[in-house]
Chain A
């Protein structure tokens, strides 16, 4: 099997899975229990959280575990809007967000919030001037993802933060970092809230996290909280928390090395695609090397995905979350609908081998040729 869909999800790291199993079997106590089984669980929970806090140089009470990125984004955007609607009703998001963000925005619009979509430049980064103009006294929140999931464009978060805070000190900056963690260096001090997910970093599915600056108040999405879990009630899923913490630690090790390794693979693939006149490369100079996005206007991209699947090679059309529609990111960057409906995403990992790339390119050539002849 050649798996090249790492941006959709990743296989669990063996060491991480090992922790998951051990904690499941050996730490049966509820972290809220008074007895020693509970104390042992609580202690492990605290250690896991402390490790995360230390990795990002934040405080332990700024780590909020969620079921995944979608829930964390809900907390950050809906939860923040609900708690702060008296301060203003304006929210700004980019046009390169995960599709679920737009659904949340639609929901907030029905409640009377006003949503603005900040433009981006041709290279995919946010149009800083447009952002500056959009921010008003009423703007309570700006959300821009650190790395776009389809084209891999990396946003200059520090610069964006500076503009936001200069225009309105009280505007909060949230960033969905799901695709960035473990692939490029990010600083949580550039933002006020950040979203992360376990299954994109070789951790288990079913856990994510919201970094919530301790000065920020949000409304919980789930009701039923106690003094132990004000923001996210429920029994702590300790095996998930511990294995997520471990996955993060591993993901944040040697990022530069992983990045330069993947860059070499990326160069090979991009150079290969450049030989085709009909293939358009959608990445910009701000894309991270882990995500390759191309358009194949002359054939149906979905067919190509299935043709490669028959050879045990796995890539995706745009994102796993909206495979039937067009790529909103490609449309946002290039404004070309035809280009946006025919995208293919090949996402790499430091686990990807050179042989896998060779095999993929070889099979791609074959299938592409076959399908082109049909069109």
Chain B
């Protein structure tokens, strides 16, 4: 008998014709995450079995808990015997360690050649349990412990414990998206939520040296590292030098439109990077009404410059709800570090909350933005941010 982790796919099994794409992606992702561990992997009708080395069992389990596309785990045991007496001999001592009053036995028999049917197996196993463990009774509706037995072709499995997985879809199954990543609280959360739905993310970050510092950039890279934990271990970050554009806007455009025009430029650049990188959508952390550039009017005018979908996963969340997720994914403490980023350096006293397309066009004609955008894309820097699992710093 040995300990195994049984993975259940959940929502993935509703995918019918595409199910193999989903499951293959998940398998590949699991292999990426567990690259540093020795383990055995098996597949059988709707289940995946991971058998890590005993010493790394808990570590592997912790990693699996953060992988999207896994609905639920069971910590189970695998035996080669199919004799009910043998199974009971393995099962009873483990069950005795649990404190419970009521139980039920659930059996699945995917090996239909097995002579006894599922109901009968459950009934017999229930009998063994009642005979061997004192003061317990059967309760089929609301049991303290659910004893699950799965009789499969080569092995029998049993388990009692269910652990929630990260749910969602396997990363990458939906294709790629480009996250507009700032140093704030919202955009990492937006990124996380998009990843959860199977979007493999790349990120774009706008810096304005010398107005913004390396500390601010470093902070964004730290946030990207946290997202890398979910994004199949790495995030490709496109760093755009936004200074020439920002200074041109500052010099030439009425200050109430600064933010509106700035966001429009960022959108234009993001769209082009997205196309270059085969990203089908832009993802960002805009939340309706949170700041002047996020009124519906502003969003409309800003969104106008791109013709690919812009997904805003936190658009309808309250700030406190966003913060709650940020804390859960460990980005909050980094996000609140007080470094100025390019969205906050030049904030006009009275930004326009109802901008118009006509005004935007009129003002943008004052700057040679097409050239500036091309230059910004030409000089972009690409940083591949990985999870810090592997110690790459030889100094340490």
Contact = CB atoms under 8 A, between A and B. Distances in A.
Nearest to B394: A19
Interface stretch (A2-10, A44-52, A100-108, A308-316): A44-52
Interface stretch (B97-105, B212-220, B230-238, B263-271): B212-220
B113 interface: no
A126 B214 CA distance: 52
Contacts of B394: 19
A142 B394 CA distance: 39
Contacts of B395: 19, 22-23, 44, 48, 242, 246
10 contacts: A19-B394, A34-B213, A36-B214, A42-B215, A44-B393, A44-B395, A48-B395, A50-B388, A245-B396, A246-B396
B135 interface: no
A264 interface: no
A51 B391 contact: yes
A265 to B, nearest CB: 27
Given A19-B396, A242-B395, 16 more contacts: A19-B395, A34-B213, A35-B214, A36-B214, A39-B213, A39-B214, A39-B215, A39-B218, A42-B215, A47-B388, A47-B393, A48-B396, A50-B388, A51-B391, A246-B395, A249-B396
A370 interface: no
Interface majority SS on A: helix, strand, loop or mixed?
Answer: helix
A43 interface: yes
B396 A242 contact: yes
A39 B337 CA distance: 14
A281 B218 CA distance: 57
Contacts of B391: 51
Interface residues of A, number: 18
Interface string A23-47: 1000000000011100100111001
Contacts of B215: 34, 39, 42
B218 A43 contact: yes
A374 B310 CA distance: 93
Interface string B373-396: 000000000000000100101111
A42 B214 CA distance: 11
A47 B391 CA distance: 10
Nearest to B221: A43
A240 to B, nearest CB: 13
Contacts of B388: 47, 50
B22 to A, nearest CB: 34
Contacts, number: 31
A196 to B, nearest CB: 17
Contacts of A43: 218
Contact of B396 (A36, A39, A42, A47): A47
Nearest to B393: A47
Contacts of A23: 395
Interface majority SS on B: helix, strand, loop or mixed?
Answer: loop
B210 to A, nearest CB: 10
Interface string B178-220: 0000000000000000000000000000000000011100100
Contacts of A246: 395-396
A299 B393 CA distance: 52
Contacts of B396: 19, 47-48, 51, 242, 245-246, 249
Contacts of A51: 391, 396
Nearest to B213: A34
A372 B213 CA distance: 72
A290 to B, nearest CB: 25
Interface string A243-257: 001100100000000
Contacts of A47: 388, 393, 396
**When A and B form their complex, which 10 residue pairs have the shortest distance between CB atoms, in order from nearest?**
A39-B214, A19-B395, A36-B214, A51-B396, A246-B396, A242-B395, A39-B215, A245-B396, A48-B396, A47-B393
A70 to B, nearest CB: 26
Interface string A215-250: 000000000000000000000000000100110010
A36 B393 CA distance: 18
Contacts of A35: 214
Interface centre among B215, B393, B395 (most CB of A within 10 A): B395
Contacts of B213: 34, 39
Contacts of B214: 35-36, 39
Nearest to A48: B396
A23 B393 CA distance: 12
B380 to A, nearest CB: 19
Interface in B349-373: none
A22 B393 CA distance: 12
A132 B391 CA distance: 44
A19 B393 CA distance: 10
A48 B391 CA distance: 11
Interface in B305-362: none
Nearest to A243: B395
A51 B390 CA distance: 11
Nearest to A245: B396
Nearest to A26: B395
Nearest to A36: B214
Interface centre among B393, B394, B396 (most CB of A within 10 A): B396
Nearest to B395: A19
A196 B183 CA distance: 36
A316 B393 CA distance: 38
A262 to B, nearest CB: 23
A237 B393 CA distance: 18
A50 B333 CA distance: 15
A141 to B, nearest CB: 30
A43 B214 CA distance: 11
Interface string B274-290: 00000000000000000
Contacts of A242: 395-396
A36 B396 CA distance: 20
B237 to A, nearest CB: 16
A51 B213 CA distance: 25
B388 to A, nearest CB: 8
Contacts of A36: 214
A34 B213 CA distance: 8
Nearest to A44: B395
A281 to B, nearest CB: 36
Contacts of A50: 388
Contacts of B393: 44, 47
Contacts of A34: 213, 215
A19 B395 CA distance: 5
B360 to A, nearest CB: 35
A47 B393 CA distance: 9
Nearest to A23: B395
B289 to A, nearest CB: 34
Contacts of A48: 395-396
B207 to A, nearest CB: 13
Nearest to B216: A39
A226 B214 CA distance: 22
